[in-house]
Amino acid sequence: MALKIRIHDKVMVISGKDRGKIGIVKKILSAEKIIVQGINIVTKHIKPIPAENKLGGIKKIEAYIHISNVALLNPHTNRPDKIGFKFDKGKKIRFFKSNNLSIK
Cα separation, 90 vs 51, in Å, equals 55
In the predicted structure, residue 1 carries a pLDDT above the cut 60? no
Global pTM value: 0.82
pLDDT digits (tens, 9 = 90+) for 31-86: 899 999 999 999 999 999 999 999 999 999 999 999 999 999 999 999 999 999 99
Q: What is the DSSP letter of 47?
A: -
Domain boundaries, the chain: 10-38+64-96
Mean pLDDT across 92-98: 94
pLDDT digits (tens, 9 = 90+) for 5-15: 999 999 999 99
DSSP 55-102: --EEEEEEPPEEGGGEEEEETTTTEEE-EEEEEETTEEEEEETTT-PB
Question: What local confidence, expressed as pLDDT, does residue 2 receive?
Answer: 66
Contacts of 102 (CB under 8 A, 6+ apart): 88, 93, 94, 95
Question: What local confidence, expressed as pLDDT, does residue 52 receive?
Answer: 95
Instruction: Note the CATH number of domain 10-38+64-96.
Output: 2.30.30.30
Handedness of CA 100, 80, 23, 63 (dihedral sign): negative
